[in-house]
């Protein structure tokens, strides 16, 4: 396998320092990185910094007329890159790109390339909210070549709290990895994807609960991958340690069976936090009728304490044996009310033989496919950043997904969904 090739163009903003971390992480994960710095970017970080991190000389406008392999640098770089990232994207570069202008190495490289371009804007809130800047931003995103990540809202270097903060390097990394996988295709555009993630907690009192070790990483990766591929994603999730999900309003309802023209990416993931299986069931049932594709990645409880105390129970009042009550099987319920156009996918976290029980669940819960997921292997299952599985579907396919990151696994699963006859 050849290493993947990513070009990063750094604009003149304080967020430039965060891009150093991104370059370092990409290099450490085996990706070849070439870096362009605009003149203004060099006020914040030096070519030496990025050259050291990427193990390759950095490019600036000084190099514009220095050919590589006897070819102009911007052409060579533009053709070399599989993905071109602009981070931070300033108002000035945004304006130039929106108008197709090219007056430096960065803008010439963009125009001389065909690969997907990932934009990570960063600027002061006043600047970001200017009508002209917003017009340029909307204009640019009309071109399917451009993909966006952020900006987020938070404390800015100008001591103001508002919109304009560059996406975190970890978010940009996820977007790059997605673009490397999909080549920038939005093959889930217009699709509404409903995903459940994380574990549920069945409380006995406000402090104690029956839970499981799920961290929601697989469900979150599915949401990120689907959004990058153009889907409108609703994520119903249990408690997700460390995840920073901004609550967003729900998508507009379909009118007369027709979906309003919306593109998932940039709209972000609609997240619905829940705690218990009953709350997850309610949120899934509410959002199910609108969904085209439903992936139940959550680790849902099978039983809950038969009683709940509003007050914390003193130790001495705790029962020696806890009476339990069953919890509804959400996936089976969805399978029973599924419409022919809907695709329903479950997960089966198993130890030992993973295929036989998964085949049973595929049948019993009336699924289109199930992801048989070993949880007794290193590098797989609960809490791990990596996973391995066997995709089993109603078309009789059993496709093995070798160990990979959870984001890669999410993309493989959507690749399989796209090949289902009924999708």
For the annotated catalytic residues, the residue numbers are: 158
Q: What's the rounded Cα separation, in Å, for the pair 336 and 364?
A: 10
Q: Is 152 helix (H, G, I), strand (E, B) or coil?
A: strand
Closer to ligand CTP by CB, 82 or 292: give it: 292
- State the number of binding residues for ligand CTP (CB under 6 A): 15
Task: Give the burial class of 246: count Cβ atoms within 10 A of its Cβ; 0-12 exposed, 13-18 middle, 19 or more buried.
Answer: exposed
In contact, 206 and 310? CB cutoff 8 Å: yes
Closer to ligand CTP by CB, 113 or 200: give it: 200
- What is the H or E stretch that residue 34 is in? strand 32-37
Distance set, CA 73 to CA 64, 103, 391 (Å): 6, 14, 44
Q: Does 300 bind ligand CTP (CB under 6 A)?
A: yes
Q: How many CB atoms lie within 10 A of CB 398?
A: 12
Q: Single out the residue of 120, 218, 296, 369 in contact with ligand CTP (rule: CB under 6 A).
A: 296
Q: What's the rounded Cα separation, in Å, for the pair 41 and 44?
A: 5
List binders of ligand CTP among 112-141 (CB under 6 A): none
Q: Does 381 bind ligand CTP (CB under 6 A)?
A: no
Q: Does 197 bind ligand CTP (CB under 6 A)?
A: no
Q: Does 237 bind ligand CTP (CB under 6 A)?
A: no
List binders of ligand CTP among 334-373 (CB under 6 A): 346-349, 357, 361
Closer to ligand CTP by CB, 204 or 222: give it: 222
Q: Single out the residue of 119, 156, 204, 298 in contact with ligand CTP (rule: CB under 6 A).
A: 298
Q: What's the rounded Cα separation, in Å, for the pair 343 and 275?
A: 25
Shortest distance, CB of residue 345 to ligand CTP, whole angstroms?
Answer: 8
Q: Single out the residue of 187, 286, 329, 415 in contact with ligand CTP (rule: CB under 6 A).
A: 329
Q: Does 174 bind ligand CTP (CB under 6 A)?
A: no
Task: Kindly list the strands in the beta sheet with 192-197, ordered across the sheet, starting from the edge strand earlier in the chain.
Answer: 269-273, 232-237, 192-197, 293-296, 343-350, 369-374, 386-393, 398-405
Closer to ligand CTP by CB, 76 or 333: give it: 333
Q: Does 330 bind ligand CTP (CB under 6 A)?
A: yes
Beta bridge partners of 118: 85, 147
Task: Look up residue 321 and give its two tokens.
Answer: 């044996």
Q: Does 391 bind ligand CTP (CB under 6 A)?
A: no
Q: State the residues that interact with ligand CTP by CB under 6 A.
A: 277, 296, 298, 300, 302, 327, 329-331, 346-349, 357, 361
């Amino acid at each position: 396998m050849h290493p993947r090739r990513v070009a990063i163009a750094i604009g003149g903003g304080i967020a430039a320092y965060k891009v150093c971390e991104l370059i370092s992480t990409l290099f450490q994960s085996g990706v070849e990185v070439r870096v362009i710095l605009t003149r203004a970017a060099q006020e914040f970080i030096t070519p030496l910094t990025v050259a050291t991190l990427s193990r390759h000389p950095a490019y600036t406008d000084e190099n514009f007329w220095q050919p590589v392999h006897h070819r102009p640098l911007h052409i060579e770089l533009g053709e070399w890159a599989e993905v071109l990232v602009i981070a931070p994207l300033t108002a000035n570069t945004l304006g130039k790109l929106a108008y197709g202008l090219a007056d430096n190495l960065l803008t010439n490289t963009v125009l001389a390339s065909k690969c997907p371009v990932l934009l990570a804007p960063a600027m002061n809130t006043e600047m970001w909210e200017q009508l002209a800047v917003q017009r340029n931003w909307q204009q640019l995103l009309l071109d399917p070549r451009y993909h966006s990540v952020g900006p987020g809202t938070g404390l800015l270097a100008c001591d103001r709290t508002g919109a304009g903060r560059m996406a975190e390097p970890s978010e940009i990394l996820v977007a790059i990895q997605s673009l490397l996988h999909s080549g920038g295709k939005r093959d889930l555009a217009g699709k509404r994807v409903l995903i459940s993630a994380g574990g549920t907690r069945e409380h006995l009192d406000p402090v104690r609960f029956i839970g499981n070790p799920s961290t929601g990483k697989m469900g979150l990766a599915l949401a990120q991958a689907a959004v990058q591929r153009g889907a409108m994603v609703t994520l119903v999730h249990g408690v997700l340690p460390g995840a920073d999900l901004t609550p967003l309003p729900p998508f507009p309802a379909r009118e007369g069976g027709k979906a309003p023209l919306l593109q998932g990416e940039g709209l972000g993931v609609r997240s619905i936090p829940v705690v218990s299986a009953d709350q997850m069931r309610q949120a899934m049932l509410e959002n199910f009728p609108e969904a085209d594709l439903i992936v139940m990645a959550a680790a849902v409880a099978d039983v809950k304490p038969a009683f709940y105390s509003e007050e914390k129970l003193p130790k001495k009042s705790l029962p020696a044996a806890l009476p339990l009550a069953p919890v509804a099987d959400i996936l089976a319920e969805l399978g029973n009310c599924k419409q022919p156009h809907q695709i329903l996918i479950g997960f089966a976290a198993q130890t030992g033989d993973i295929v036989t029980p998964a085949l049973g669940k595929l049948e019993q819960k009336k699924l289109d496919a199930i992801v048989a997921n070993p949880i007794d292997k290193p590098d797989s299952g609960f809490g791990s950043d990596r996973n391995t599985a066997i995709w089993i579907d109603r078309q009789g396919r059993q496709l093995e997904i070798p160990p990979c990151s959870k984001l890669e696994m999410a993309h493989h699963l959507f690749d399989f969904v796209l090949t289902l006859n009924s999708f």
